[in-house]
């Protein structure tokens, strides 16, 4: 399917390997393949969800795109240019267009700065405030945008609840008028009744400003709710990407099936058939050969242990990386 | 009717702090029958964990104190019991599993030693017999090659496997009640499914009751027979699981159920989540009358006048709301 709009973000073959050093000479004895060849696109104004269990590489992917960590391999095209080699002023300019919201609203706000300082810092760095009055006005506008009051400006992070802190984090990200926000588990630390407030706020802001989100979370229900498309990751690789509706209605990868069937549904009358997975996620230092999932896969055959399945796109842009399911797409 | 296994009556567990008295549990009545799973659901500060820990007297006093109420375990009040008597109940009659399996296991002892600690404390057991008992428990909780793993230390186990060890520890004396405080919150979703299945399996095998403390409505729906919803230190609604999800009567329960996205109902286009306004309450600054009134979309002046009692609103269905 041809997309008439060029993607805002286009990630190809992204890899991040961490060296493990050992012995008295601290030689590289092994590598952790945290992200092992990830490719996807995000269109302007779109939300792509990335879901997977701990250690699957979803957060590393988000941080590599932001250049908060340096990718080992691969290209990241943002607004048509490769950003993997940007330095200095160009990198700073990029960061104006791309922002990130973190999981822990307690650790990601500077406790010694007032809210005005936290939100205003980005405006100052990027030279977006004409003078002190303009800065204050912009901070007030941002606070109102995220549902906080102007008088909150003089307070400090510890005076706020978890949900309010996450709103401050969102206001800080919005301050520089980005086009893409990487949301790394933005609601996982929040209470259930507060999660809905933040999800709704993110949706409202997206509509208002045409923002694109890379929404990273382990909670499949949240990801499905907010995303247009969802990518499922397992041990550093994307195993399936589809529209949120398609992924639930017609999951193709056996891991996606198992993941979906393991999500508890808040309805005691819902009929479930559970695909039980044996064992734990294998160690990413020595991931299984071939398809990383074959050691836990209920339908694996001999080929799966040898050959890495490619991520092949079929009808409705539904892509899957599974030898046994490639003929079904 | 048969006497409940555990009957908590008007329990108040308060904490004295510099800012004032935090009434973490403020008049909770709950009962659990033999072989039943009761889910206690609530957000942070609802008092669900303090209620659970109060049962086994795991509250530090001071700053905590049992301000009022009874905890009747098979008819006997646990509140006045001394450390030695409560130890006996903890080891042999009520087991407990905590959220964080890493911090609740001792890093310097093998898992085998920790599993059988309760057994060895109360009966003379040979080294061989204790080892065999530990292997048997590890096999029961489906840890592969238990003969080898019994001599391993907690750090050699993954998160899910550690939680299995915790369950083995809690079940070694075949308790009649297992208190599971957020047993799967720190685990990945596929591992969560394995652990919840294991708990259900153990429940059938031993015929024990489970008190499942959780914040996740999905976990409640799939694992409990009866549900108590807690808010700011009190139970605001209690019913059978099917009834609670089909006809929630308290506005807080209604809000909770409607505010969570569901993986099985991705509608065409976007649906907006219903949201409960405001923040989770500070227990030192509760509104007058109904504790939920400042966040409730139905609240009227009457709600601020006095605290609504938990009353029967339908057969086997209680709610603490004057409009329920």
The terminus-to-terminus CA distance of chain B in angstroms comes to 27
Contact A224 B216 (CB under 8 A): no
Write down the pLDDT at residue A159.
87
pLDDT in tens, A79-137: 988 988 888 888 888 888 999 999 877 788 888 999 999 999 989 988 888 899 999 99
Contact B280 A224 (CB under 8 A): no
* DSSP state letters, B42-91: --TTSSHHHHHHHHTT-S-TTTEEEEEEEEEETTEE-TT--HHHHHHHHH
Q: Is the pLDDT of residue A2 over 70?
A: no
Contact A199 B256 (CB under 8 A): no
Helices (H), chain B: 48-55, 83-92, 111-122, 127-140, 146-149, 159-171, 189-206, 217-223, 241-246, 251-259, 301-305
- Please state the rounded mean pLDDT for residues B93-115: 86
Write down the pLDDT at residue A74.
94
- A315 close to A243: Cβ distance less than 8 angstroms: no
- Please state the rounded mean pLDDT for residues A308-322: 92
Q: Of the candidates B177, B31, B13, which has an alpha carbon nearest to the alpha carbon of residue B79?
A: B13
Q: Is the pLDDT of residue A276 over 80?
A: no
- B56 close to B94: Cβ distance less than 8 angstroms: yes
Q: Is the pLDDT of residue A274 over 60?
A: yes
Q: Which of A8-17, A89-98, B301-310 has the lowest mean pLDDT?
A: A89-98
What whole-number distance in Å separates Cα of residue A105 and Cα of residue A93?
A: 25
- Please state the rounded mean pLDDT for residues B122-134: 83
Residue numbers of A between 265 and 284 with CB closer than 8 Å to B: 265-270, 272, 274, 276-277, 280-281
Q: ipTM of this predicted complex? A: 0.85
Question: What pairs with residue B28 in β-bridges?
Answer: B11
Q: What is the 3-state secondary structure (H, E, C) of A57-79?
A: CHHHHHHHHCCCCCCCEEEEEEC
Q: Beta strand pairing status for A319-320 and A312-313?
A: antiparallel
Phi, psi angle pair for A130, to nearest 5°: -75, -40
- Please state the rounded mean pLDDT for residues A210-228: 93
pLDDT band at B181 (very low <50, low <70, confident <90, very high): very high
- Please state the rounded mean pLDDT for residues A234-263: 93
pLDDT in tens, A41-53: 999 999 999 999 8
What whole-number distance in Å separates Cα of residue B129 and Cα of residue A105?
A: 50
Residue numbers of A between 282 and 311 with CB closer than 8 Å to B: none
Contacts of B279 in chain A (CB under 8 A): 161, 163-164, 194
B200/A contact by beta carbon, under 8 A: no
Q: Which of A276-290, A299-313, B172-186 has the lowest mean pLDDT?
A: A276-290
- What's the whole-model pTM score? 0.89
B206 vs A11, which has greater pLDDT?
A11
- Strand locations in chain A (E): 9-22, 27-42, 47-51, 73-78, 81-82, 98-101, 180-184, 212-217, 229-234, 237-243, 312-313, 319-320
A157 vs A240, which has greater pLDDT?
A240
Write down the pLDDT at residue B270.
54
Helices (H), B141-216: 146-149, 159-171, 189-206
Residue B177's Cβ-side half-sphere holds a number of Cα atoms within 13 Å equal to: 23
Contact A264 B216 (CB under 8 A): yes
pLDDT in tens, B15-63: 999 989 999 999 999 999 999 999 999 988 899 999 999 999 999 888 9
pLDDT in tens, B272-292: 888 898 888 889 989 999 999
Domains located in chain A, CATH noted: 9-97+178-328 (3.40.50.300), 107-177 (no CATH)
CA distances from A193 to A162, B226, B252, B274 (A): 12, 21, 9, 9
Q: Is the pLDDT of residue A187 over 50?
A: yes
* Average pLDDT value over all residues in chain A: 90
Q: Is the pLDDT of residue A3 over 70?
A: no
Contacts of A205 in chain B (CB under 8 A): none
Angle between helices A115-125 and A162-174 (to 10 degrees): 20
């Amino acid at each position: 399917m041809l997309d008439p709009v060029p993607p805002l973000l286009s990630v190809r073959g992204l890899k991040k390997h961490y060296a493990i050093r050992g012995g008295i000479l601290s030689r590289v004895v092994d590598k952790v393949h945290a992200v092992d060849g990830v490719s996807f696109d995000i269109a302007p104004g779109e939300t792509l969800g990335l879901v997977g269990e701990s250690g699957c590489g979803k957060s590393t992917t988000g941080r590599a795109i932001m250049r908060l960590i340096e990718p080992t391999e691969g290209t990241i095209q943002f607004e048509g240019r490769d950003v993997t080699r940007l330095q200095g002023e160009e990198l700073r300019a990029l960061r104006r267009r791309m922002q990130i919201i973190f999981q822990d609203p307690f650790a990601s706000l500077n406790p010694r700065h007032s809210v005005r300082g936290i939100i205003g810092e980005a405006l100052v760095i990027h030279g977006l405030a004409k003078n002190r009055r303009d800065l204050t006005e912009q901070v007030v506008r941002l606070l109102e945008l995220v549902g906080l009051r102007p008088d909150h400006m003089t307070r400090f992070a510890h005076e706020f609840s978890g949900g309010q802190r996450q709103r401050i984090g969102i206001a800080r990200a919005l301050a520089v008028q980005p086009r893409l926000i990487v949301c790394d588990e933005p609601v996982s630390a929040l209470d259930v009744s507060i999660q809905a407030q933040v999800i709704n706020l993110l949706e409202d802001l997206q509509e208002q400003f045409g923002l694109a989100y890379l929404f990273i979370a382990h909670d499949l229900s949240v990801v499905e709710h907010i995303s247009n498309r969802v990518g499922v990751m397992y041990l550093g690789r994307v195993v399936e990407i589809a529209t949120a509706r398609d992924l639930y209605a017609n999951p193709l990868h056996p891991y996606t099936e198992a993941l979906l069937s393991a999500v508890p549904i808040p309805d005691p009358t819902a009929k479930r058939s559970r695909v039980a997975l044996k064992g734990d996620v294998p160690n990413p230092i020595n991931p299984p050969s071939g398809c990383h999932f074959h050691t836990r896969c209920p339908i694996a055959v001999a080929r799966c242990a040898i050959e890495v399945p490619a991520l092949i796109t079929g009808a409705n842009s539904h892509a899957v990386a599974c030898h046994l399911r490639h003929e079904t797409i | 009717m048969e006497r409940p296994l555990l009957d908590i009556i008007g329990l108040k567990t308060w904490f004295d702090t510099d800012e004032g008295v935090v009434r973490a549990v403020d008049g909770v009545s709950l009962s659990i029958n033999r072989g039943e799973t009761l889910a206690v659901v609530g957000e942070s500060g609802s008092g669900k964990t303090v209620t659970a820990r109060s049962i086994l007297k795991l509250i530090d006093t001071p700053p905590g104190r049992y301000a009022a109420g009874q905890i009747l375990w098979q008819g006997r009040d646990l509140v006045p019991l001394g450390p030695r008597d409560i130890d006996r109940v903890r080891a042999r009659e009520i087991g407990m599993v905590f959220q964080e399996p890493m911090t609740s296991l001792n890093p310097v002892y093998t898992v085998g030693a920790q599993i059988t600690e309760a057994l060895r404390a109360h009966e003379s057991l040979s080294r061989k017999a204790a080892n065999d008992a530990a292997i048997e428990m590890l096999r029961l909780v489906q840890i592969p090659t238990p003969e080898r793993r019994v001599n391993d230390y907690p750090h050699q186990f993954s998160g899910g496997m550690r939680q299995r060890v915790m369950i083995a520890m809690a079940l070694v004396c075949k308790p009649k009640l297992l208190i599971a405080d957020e047993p799967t919150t720190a685990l990945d979703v596929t591992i969560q499914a394995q652990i919840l299945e294991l708990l259900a399996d153990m429940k059938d095998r031993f015929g024990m009751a489970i008190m499942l403390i959780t914040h996740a409505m999905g976990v409640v729906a799939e694992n409990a027979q009866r549900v108590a919803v807690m808010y700011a230190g009190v139970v605001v609604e209690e019913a059978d699981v099917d009834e609670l999800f089909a006809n929630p009567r308290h506005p807080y329960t209604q809000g909770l159920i409607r505010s969570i996205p569901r993986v099985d109902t991705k509608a065409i286009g976007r649906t907006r989540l219903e949201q409960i306004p405001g923040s989770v309450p500070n227990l030192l600054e509760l509104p007058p009358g109904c504790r939920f009134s400042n966040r409730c979309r139905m609240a009227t002046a009457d709600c601020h006048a006095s605290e609504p009692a938990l009353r029967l609103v339908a057969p086997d269905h209680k709610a603490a709301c004057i409009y329920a």
